[in-house]
């Protein structure tokens, strides 16, 4: 299954996660109510777009009053299944894996990285933050107990396809893939790809041929 299937447009789902981040911040600042105009002002996301994104999931907010921050936060968390712990396996204990394990946002959104695997014998048995790095060969055995359904692939390109197959064989049906290749997975498995090169390529496309004036100013 491609992650863009289903009735809700993918950009809407992506924005929901951003709204959630923003609402968590508002809660911390003890803001109780917001209007879609304030959302637009503070996030740059169009107020009509915000209302449309929410409309896929029912009725939200009260005309003339706005949205209750705590309620909206908890409803979006529920839609994204982030109101429950999601156990996640990580394969690849390199720099990227290390950055992911140490990323404070994961716990805040109830993603629980429960195990880290690598096939490098100089890493197995060592710690990545507070997790012991396990032998990749134990993936299925370990996940028969942990029963995580999400996996993060932070391995080199050449290893990615076989590790993905190992994750699926171990019961994982959602994969976040950082390796720059198209994974072949069974139809029930959802893959999201993060490609640093792709992101930079889209930025590169938007570079104008002339640098902006203030960049020239910086020359002298």
Residues 175-194 that bind a copy of itself (CB under 8 A): 175-176, 180-182, 188, 190, 192, 194
Largest CA distance in the chain: 63
Phi–psi pair at 194, nearest 5 degrees: -115, 115
- Asked if 80 contacts 16 with a C-beta cutoff of 8 angstroms, the reply is yes
Parallel, antiparallel or unpaired: strands 131-135 and 127-128: antiparallel
Q: By CB under 8 A, tell whether 58 contacts a copy of itself.
A: no
Q: Is 212 in the site for a copy of itself (CB under 8 A)?
A: yes
Nearest-5° Cα angle at 98, 134 to 168: 50
Q: In terms of CB distance, is 62 or 147 closer to a copy of itself?
A: 147
Measured from the Cβ of residue 205, the count of other Cβ atoms closer than 10 Å reads 7
Nearest approach, Cβ of residue 61 and a copy of itself (Å): 20
Rounded Cα gap, residues 147 and 201, in angstroms: 37
* Residue corresponding to tokens 């009509």: 48
Of residues 25 and 132, the one with the C-beta less far from a copy of itself: 25
Q: What angle do CA 86, 87, 90 make, to 5 degrees?
A: 130
Choose which of 40, 71, 135, 173 interacts with a copy of itself (CB under 8 A): 173
Residue 10 or 48 with smaller CB distance to a copy of itself? 10
Out of 69, 72, 150, 167, which residue is the one contacting a copy of itself (CB under 8 A)? Answer: 150
48, 120, 132, 211: which one contacts a copy of itself (CB under 8 A)?
Answer: 211
Q: Which of 120, 132, 147, 162 binds a copy of itself (CB under 8 A)?
A: 147
Site residues (CB under 8 A) for a copy of itself, limited to 76-135: 79-82, 86, 88, 94-96, 98-100, 102-103, 105-106, 108-109, 111
Is 13 a binding residue for a copy of itself by CB under 8 A? The answer is yes
- If binding means CB under 8 A, how many residues of this protein chain bind a copy of itself? 78
Q: Helical H runs in the chain?
A: 10-28, 36-43, 47-55, 69-79, 95-101, 104-108, 139-146, 157-169, 196-206, 213-217
Nearer to a copy of itself, 51 or 87 (CB): 87
Parallel/antiparallel/unpaired status of strands 127-128 and 111-118: unpaired
Choose one: 16-24, 28-36, 48-56, 115-123; the region binding a copy of itself (CB under 8 A): 16-24
What pairs with residue 175 in β-bridges? 151, 191
Q: Closer to a copy of itself by CB, 164 or 172: give it.
A: 172
């Amino acid at each position: 299954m491609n992650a863009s299937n289903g009735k809700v447009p993918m950009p809407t789902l992506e924005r929901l996660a951003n709204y959630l981040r923003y609402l968590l911040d508002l809660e911390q600042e003890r803001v109780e109510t917001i209007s879609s105009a304030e959302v637009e002002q503070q996030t740059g996301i169009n107020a009509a777009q915000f209302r449309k994104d929410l409309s896929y999931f029912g009725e939200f907010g009260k005309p003339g009053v706005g949205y209750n921050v705590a309620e909206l936060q908890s409803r979006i968390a529920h839609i994204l299944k982030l109101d429950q712990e999601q156990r996640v396996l990580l394969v690849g204990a390199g720099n990227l894996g290390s950055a992911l394990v140490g990323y404070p946002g994961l716990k805040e959104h109830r993603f629980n990285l429960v195990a880290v695997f690598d096939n490098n014998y100089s890493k197995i048995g060592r710690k990545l933050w507070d997790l012991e790095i396990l032998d990749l060969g134990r993936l299925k055995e370990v996940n028969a107990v942990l029963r995580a359904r999400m996996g993060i692939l932070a391995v080199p390109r050449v290893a990615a396809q076989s590790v993905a197959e190992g994750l699926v064989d171990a019961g994982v049906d959602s994969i976040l893939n950082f390796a720059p290749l198209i994974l072949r997975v069974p139809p029930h498995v959802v893959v999201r790809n993060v490609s640093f090169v792709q992101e930079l390529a889209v930025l590169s496309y938007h570079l104008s041929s002339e640098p902006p004036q203030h960049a020239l100013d910086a020359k002298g």
